[in-house]
Structure 1
Amino acid sequence: MTEKYCIVLVTAPETDARSVARALVQQDLAACVNILPNLTSVYRWQGEVEEDIEQLLVIKTRRDALEALKAAVVEVHPYELPEIIAVPIVDGLKGYLDWIDESVLLQ
């Protein structure tokens, strides 16, 4: 069992999801980003109940890259307060976890 790795969940508008995902992979902060389309988000923002169609980014990375990844999301994301939630990966296929190690490079 390990908590060296994590999955980071980020929602984004359809128009921006791909560019956020590409930025994270290009900056070596994520090994892979899956984009799940047509997510309906209902949330409270500035006292009002809002509803938007978004896309969910499922980001595979290492925990030691998390702070840099959060900073990169904030920089490229169009929202004033983007959703960034990290969930530990407690186990996985060794070869896949090794691939995350090889793909995520801290500057």
Structure 2
Amino acid sequence: MTVSESADIQPAGEAAESILVAMTNLPDEASAARVARAVLEARVAACVNRLAPCQSEYWWQGRLEQAQEWPLLIKTTRAQYAGLEAVIRTEHPYDVPEIVTWPVGAGFAPYLAWVREEASGKPAGDATAPR
């Protein structure tokens, strides 16, 4: 059996319950922790990974800028995207926060089911769920 034939791997889906990974960057560790907590408390995501700081370089208002930022990787569903964006926009200190997503094409079936359940907008789940 090849990896693609494994019963534990499934397409992430095309409908509203399809899985997305969202990303945003914050200017400091405290704001990254605050946004991560707000997203989870709003039940619009199953998991947030607060990554180590990185160096960002970008154009802003006609000037080349450089800043240290704290990335968040957020696992959610297509159905919860609007709610996720609303929470990030409310909590984020930037005027124009980076909020980007990409679809998860396939993944470990039990993990994808866990993301769908936890990002359903209502309390549920198992404390022993995968991360």
**TM-score bracket for this pair, using the shorter chain length:** over 0.9
5+ long unaligned stretches in structure 1: none
Query: Aligned partners of 2:120 and 2:90: how far apart in 1?
Result: 19
What's the C-alpha RMSD, in Å, of the aligned pairs?
1.1
Residues 73-103 of structure 1: per-residue CA shift (max 9 Å, x gap) = 0000000000000000011111101111111
Q: Does 1:80 align with 2:95?
A: yes
Normalising by structure 1, we get a TM-score of 0.95
Normalising by structure 2, we get a TM-score of 0.78
Q: Which has the higher strand share?
A: 1
Asked which structure has the greater CA Rg, the reply is: 2
Q: Does 1:63 align with 2:95?
A: no
Residues 2-49 of structure 1: per-residue CA shift (max 9 Å, x gap) = 240000010112230011001001110110000112211101111111
Task: State percent identity of aligned pairs.
Answer: 36
Q: Which has the higher helix share?
A: 1
Residue of structure 2 in register with 1:28 after alignment: 43
Query: Aligned partners of 1:20 and 1:38: how far apart in 2?
Result: 15
- Superposition pairs of residues 1-107 of structure 1, within 5 angstroms: 1=11, 2-3=13-14, 4-14=18-28, 15-106=30-121
| SS of match in other structure, 1:56 | strand
5+ long unaligned stretches in structure 2: 1-10, 123-131
Q: Which runs of 4+ in 1 moved over 6 A?
A: none
- The higher relative CO (CA closer than 8 Å, separation ≥ 6) is in 1
| SS of match in other structure, 2:101 | strand
**How many pairs were matched up?**
107
